[in-house]
Copies of this chain bind each other. A is one copy, B any other.
Amino acid sequence: MDIATQTPETHTFIDHVMATIRARIAARSLLPGDRLPSIRGGARQFGVSNSTMVEAYDRLVADGTISSRRGSGFFVSGHTAPLSIAQIGPKLDRAIDPFWVSRQSLDARPEMLKPGCGWLPPDWMPTAAIRRALRNISRSKDTILTDYAPPLGLMALRQLLSRRMAGYGIEAGPDQIVLTDSGTQAIDLLCRFLIKPGDTVLIDDPCYFNFQALLRAHRANIIGVPFTPIGPDVDAFARLAAIHNPRLYITNSGLHNPTGTSLSPMVAHRILKTVEENDLIVIEDDIFADFETSPSPRYAALGGFDRIIHIGSFSKTLSASVRCGYIATRPDWIDGIADLKIATGFSGANLSAELVLSVLKDGTYRRHMENLHARLSRAMDVTQTRLKSLGITPVITPDAGIFLWCRLPDGIDAAIVARNALVDGVVLAPGNVFSISQSANNLMRFNVAQCADDHVFDILARAMQT
């Protein structure tokens, strides 16, 4: 078929067929050596003409994606292409996919403003306590400086975490706790332990964007549960659990990311009931716990560890440069999780654990957090006022924390605003990076601690106009 004789529509059809086959190879639903449908079968399947199918296959043969074997058809070539998580699942607009905010925030040059990022500026962190901890550790025993950590991680820190959790009504002994390098690594280890490709996992819609990225890496089937100002929509949760037979539900209980809401006790109870009836496991990601001023219910406190796994980290309130997270779970799962941790990372970072322990024991950490609560509360007020003056209104007013989940003026697309602002050196967090259903295009998450600079609002105003 000669290119010149093709209509523009034919071109689109050929591209569509080629892109679909490439995406299936990238997502590994088509593997090297797999036979592709015949011309006639492929044409029927794609709803295109035989000649479009011939042309698509010819081009894929030409670029080496597939090969033809005389008399026996078309086959996927050589080895699988390396995994591209951005290509697993529905095709994404890279500008607003789940990686957008992470890459932009982590890659940001020092002079950039980051109201879209998920952490505090350095001068809001307990740096004096960290400096003291570093000096203390510089005088500690040789083993602390050079040795591997034990499989579950530093015992003294696990004991301290056990006591901290008890303050939330969560009863986990030190032997039920495994230290990890971060909250994300904690969820990753648990996904390795609990799910296999194709398993269904429930997440909140909206939720922390990296849950989506992580679950894509595990090739999970992701289902979003609508999130309300008092927690997940309980009826939708029950319906989706019954229909999809999910294995896992991943959520934040205290200070939900991105909405800033806290779970109501009644919602928590009803969700737990559905969890038990449907043989589900819940990963409760509690990394914002220390920002709370009045504690909200925890699933692990209500339901125990039979079906609830509690995880946390110190990246938000202590340091993101010192990596340390943890998993609290039922005793009979600890050994399997530790085996996986050793196989895939050999050992945790003992020095990081010692640092975190040293800071948490430092009397000034508690005072630092109290000051932080007050400072965040002021920033929350100021940021709300300034955003309202631009016609940007919070969907709810959180009790505490760092996030404001806001609605933009009618008709304004958050993704476009974010792209415009980036040109001016401001990283924003457009709603759809948090939304599996892509239903948050008019919403945006603001980190009130990163909104102190006037330029944020000037550039935001300009970005909404263009």
Contact = CB atoms under 8 A, between A and B. Distances in A.
Interface string A20-37: 000000001001000000
Contacts of A261: none
Contacts of A151: 102-103, 106-107
Contacts of A333: 82
A339 interface: yes
Given A210-B343, A339-B85, A350-B321, A127 B142 contact: yes
Contacts of A344: 184-185, 188, 214, 217
Interface string A312-323: 000100011111
A341 B321 CA distance: 15
A279 B32 CA distance: 12
Interface stretch (A40-48, A132-140, A235-243): A132-140
Interface stretch (A118-126, A266-274, A364-372): A118-126
A245 B201 CA distance: 34
Contact of A181 (B102, B342, B349): B349
Contacts of A134: 134-135, 137-138, 145
A115 B85 CA distance: 42
Q: Main SS of the interface on chain A?
A: helix
B340 A83 contact: yes
Contacts of A119: 147-148
A302 B217 CA distance: 33
How many copies of this kind of chain does the complex include? 2
Interface stretch (A9-17, A192-200, A376-384, A390-398): A192-200
Interface residues of A, number: 85
B148 A321 contact: yes
Interface string A142-185: 11111111110000000000000000000000000000011111
Interface string A82-100: 1111100000000000010
B343 A85 contact: yes
18 contacts: A31-B196, A84-B336, A85-B339, A102-B151, A102-B342, A102-B346, A103-B338, A122-B142, A122-B145, A123-B142, A181-B323, A182-B347, A188-B344, A213-B343, A320-B350, A321-B350, A322-B349, A351-B355
